[in-house]
């Protein structure tokens, strides 16, 4: 069989590319180094608990509009995923007593925030209303490849105002827009945190397109948890891929992208096996793709330039905990953000992210118990060059520092802990196959919004990238967007 497209990696970006292409009749082979699909949206099981390795605040599982890309990707290959609506996106526990919930209902969220900043009532509404404008533009058009001129022309004629709106916002960052309407320094810090908690950079460096999407979709399609755990999304996509005639191989680590006269023509696996395909797609990070799978000394100039603009974000220290139900006070929400000092927002162990998915899907833990996944940014450099004893001690100390802080929200956590597993940046690097365990690219300095983020084609003919190292960045729905775009561009290139 001639393979049309070989996809390296079965993260959500890789799987959406693969399923979209298979649905169009292409012969697709996905090669995944690990035992299961999903990458950062995967899972693992211990003692009756099913833990999400990373993502758990899921956008894109809504029913309406065009931005529900996970729902659309699944239905394109005739599978579906039950979604459990989460009424509150985040419960923030921030400095200076700024304690508030981001309700699914937009007006309720605005009321909650305005209760803390009465003098900024108008500015708050104008800022978030402007985010809605971005979202309304995105949510009215089919989200496909911006590298395909015929598609661009078609959407422009169908939705000229939405397209002009997006062109206007593409070079802007959320911080600049926020400062147009808001003056209060503490409120601006809050906007920084609203961005940081998914972009891992403050508002000044967060593209307005991404901010508009997140700050509005949470009140539209909403945040939904996939029944059975986040890992189900990838499992379902694989089911759909196979139904559509595509193939996936696990424990198939690609070590080399093969080129002939500057064109990508195949891949080689760690066991020496070689596959040839008409198109090669890398779902690995850009650093892994251009520095590990291709000769680093031949890195294309545009990739060097990209690296001057973007750097690797930190990885995370993750605590996967099983706890007794009694730890969680009544009306506890699924997602929390904890920070005690604004100055530490972007520091290692500054912001703590918390997910308790069992509040939405109790079947993920034994009866009477819950899962608490707490994670906080950490750099790999702090975890290198340690003996195994030093590594274990460091892990244990860091974990207890986080648990001590969480006691403020969940009193008795320490005493009611049933299970604890700690993952460091080294764990993320090893199991997610991501250089330095990075969460993905972040701007080195303030850039012009999303303008410098690359699309799917690369300088090497026949080689495409997909996933969070490509436009529009991190997050499951964002990498699904990149998957739709990548498959669209390849389908046009293959004449499908």
Distance CA 421, CA 374 (A): 11
**Least distance in Å: CB of 254 to ligand FAD?**
4
436: contact with ligand FAD by CB under 6 A: no
The span of 206-214, 271-279, 380-388, 468-476 binding ligand FAD (CB under 6 A) equals 468-476
**What interhelical angle do 174-181 and 208-217 show, nearest 10?**
70
- Closest distance to ligand FAD from the beta carbon of 496 (Å): 22
Q: What share of the chain is helix, strand, coil (3-state, %, to 5)?
A: 40, 25, 35
Q: Is 55 in the site for ligand FAD (CB under 6 A)?
A: yes
Using CB under 6 A as the binding rule, whether residue 19 contacts ligand FAD is answered as no
Q: How many CA atoms lie within 13 A of 142 on its CB side?
A: 15
Among 43, 151, 306, 316, binds ligand FAD (CB under 6 A): 316
Should residue 474 be labelled a site residue for ligand FAD when binding is judged by CB under 6 A?
yes
Nearest to 293 by CA among 458, 425, 474: 458
Which one, 123 or 483, has the nearer CB to ligand FAD? Answer: 483
Q: Does 467 bind ligand FAD (CB under 6 A)?
A: yes
**Stretch of residues binding ligand FAD (CB under 6 A), selected from 50-58, 160-168, 386-394, 447-455:** 50-58
Among 5, 258, 337, 476, binds ligand FAD (CB under 6 A): 476
* Residue carrying structure tokens 């006269």: 261
> Cβ closer to ligand FAD: 166 or 284?
284
Per-residue contact string for residues 237-256; x = within reach of ligand FAD by CB under 6 A: ----------------xx--
Cβ atoms of 235 and 15 closer than 8 Å: no
Q: How far apart are CA 421 and CA 320, in angstroms?
A: 5
Interface of this chain with ligand FAD, residues 211 to 230, rule: CB under 6 A: none
- Shortest distance (Å) from residue 60 CB to ligand FAD: 8
Q: How many CA atoms lie within 13 A of 467 on its CB side?
A: 29
Question: Could you tell me which residues come within 8 angstroms of residue 430 by beta carbon, excluding any fewer than 6 positions away?
Answer: none
- Residues 6 or more apart whose Cβ sits within 8 Å of residue 142: 66, 151, 155
The nearer residue to ligand FAD, 14 or 212, going by C-beta atoms, is: 14
Part in contact with ligand FAD (CB under 6 A); list of ranges 31-39, 83-91, 155-163, 380-388: 31-39
CB 56 to ligand FAD: min, Å? 5
The answer to whether residue 472 forms part of the interface with ligand FAD (CB under 6 A) is: no
Task: Give me the least distance between CB of 9 and ligand FAD, in Å please.
Answer: 2
Q: Which residues contact 490 (CB under 8 A, 6 or more apart)?
A: 5, 17, 21, 26, 279, 281, 456, 464
> Could you say whether residue 8 binds ligand FAD (CB under 6 A)?
yes
Which range touches ligand FAD (CB under 6 A), out of 28-36, 73-81, 380-388, 456-464?
Answer: 28-36
| 423 SS3 class | strand
CA-closest candidate to residue 368, choices 408, 416, 332, 410: 416
Instruction: Name which position in 92, 106, 151, 439 contacts ligand FAD (CB under 6 A).
Output: 439
Among 479, 485, 486, 490, binds ligand FAD (CB under 6 A): 479
Taking Cα atoms as reference points, which of 419, 383, 417 lies closest to residue 398? Answer: 383
- Could you give the CA distance from residue 492 to residue 404 in angstroms, rounded to a whole number? 54
- Which residues have C-beta within 8 Å of that of residue 40, sequence separation ≥ 6? 11, 53, 54, 55, 432, 434
Applying CB under 6 A, the residues found at the interface with ligand FAD are 8-14, 31-34, 39-41, 54-58, 253-254, 283-284, 288, 316, 318, 375, 432-434, 439-440, 467-468, 474-476, 479
């Amino acid at each position: 069989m001639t393979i049309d497209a070989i996809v390296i990696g079965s993260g959500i970006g890789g799987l959406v590319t693969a399923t979209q292409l298979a649905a169009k009749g292409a012969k697709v082979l996905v090669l995944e180094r690990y035992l299961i699909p999903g990458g950062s949206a995967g899972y693992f099981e211990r003692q009756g608990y099913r833990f999400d390795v990373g993502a758990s605040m899921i956008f894109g599982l809504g029913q309406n509009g065009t931005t529900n890309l996970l729902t659309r990707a699944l239905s394109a290959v005739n599978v579906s995923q039950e979604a459990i609506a989460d009424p509150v996106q985040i419960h923030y526990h921030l400095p200076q007593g700024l304690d508030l919930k981001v309700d699914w209902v937009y007006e309720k969220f605005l009321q909650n925030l305005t209760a803390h900043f009465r003098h900024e009532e108008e500015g708050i509404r104008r800022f978030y209303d402007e985010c809605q404008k971005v979202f309304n533009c995105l949510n009215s058009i089919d989200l496909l490849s911006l590298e395909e001129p015929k598609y661009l022309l078609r959407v422009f004629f169908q939705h000229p105002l939405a397209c002009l709106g997006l062109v206007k916002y593409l070079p802007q960052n959320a911080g600049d827009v926020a400062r147009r309407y808001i003056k209060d320094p503490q409120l601006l810090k809050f906007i920084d945190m609203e961005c940081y908690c998914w972009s891992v950079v403050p508002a000044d460096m967060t593209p307005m397109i991404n901010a508009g999407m997140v700050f509005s979709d949470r009140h539209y399609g909403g945040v939904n948890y996939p029944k059975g755990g986040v890992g189900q999304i990838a499992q379902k996509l694989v089911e759909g891929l196979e139904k559509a005639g595509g193939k996936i191989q696990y424990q198939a680590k690609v070590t080399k992208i093969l080129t002939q006269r500057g064109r990508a023509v195949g891949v080689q696996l760690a066991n020496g096996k070689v596959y040839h395909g008409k198109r090669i797609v890398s779902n690995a990070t850009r650093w892994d793709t251009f520095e590990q799978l291709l000769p680093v000394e031949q890195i294309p100039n545009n990739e060097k330039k990209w690296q001057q603009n973007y750097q690797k974000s930190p990885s995370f220290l993750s605590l996967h905990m099983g706890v007794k139900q009694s730890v969680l006070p009544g009306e506890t929400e699924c997602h929390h953000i904890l920070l005690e000092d604004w100055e530490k927002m972007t520091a290692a162990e500054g912001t703590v992210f918390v997910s308790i998915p069992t509040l939405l899907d109790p079947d993920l833990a034994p009866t009477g118990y819950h899962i608490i996944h707490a994670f906080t940014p950490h750099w790999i450099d702090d975890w290198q060059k340690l003996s195994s004893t030093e590594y274990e001690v460091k892990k244990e100390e860091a974990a207890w520092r986080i648990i001590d802080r969480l006691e403020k929200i969940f009193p008795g956590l320490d005493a009611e802990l049933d299970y604890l597993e700690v993952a460091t940046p080294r764990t993320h690097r090893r199991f997610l196959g991501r250089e330095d365990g990075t969460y993905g690219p972040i701007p080195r300095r303030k850039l012009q919004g999303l303008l410098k983020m690359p699309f799917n084609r690369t300088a090497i003919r026949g080689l495409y990238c997909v996933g969070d190292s490509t436009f529009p960045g991190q997050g499951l729905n964002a990498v699904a967007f990149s998957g739709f775009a990548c498959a669209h561009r390849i389908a046009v290139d293959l004449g499908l």
